[in-house]
Amino acid sequence: MQLLTQMLVELEVEQKVGAGKQERMPDRKNYRNGHHQRTWKTRVAEIDLAIPKLHKDSYLPSLPEPRRPTEKALLAVIQEAYLKGVST
């Protein structure tokens, strides 16, 4: 589950930046600047996420939304992964 959520975070950041990790693109919108750790607590387990920092902008993943029940958020992660073609 942790790998799946981290993959979704990476996909979101790639869309926001306009390029993959360590990928050189002439039309990229932003640059990565390290990451910070965040623990996402669910009823089932605690998931450690490495949230990328961006140079010009801030980024908050859509997965652990504030004031959103964790189980609904976890279900949304699984559904989004399925729609994007990510398999386990």
Give residue limits of the domains in the chain: 2-83
Provide the residue-wise pLDDT of the chain in tens; the chain has 88 residues.
677 777 777 888 887 777 777 778 788 777 777 788 888 777 677 888 888 888 887 776 776 555 556 677 777 878 888 888 876 5
Q: What is each CA distance from 25 to 10, 11, 17, 18, 30, in whole angstroms? A: 17, 16, 10, 8, 10
Does this model's pTM top 0.75?
Answer: no
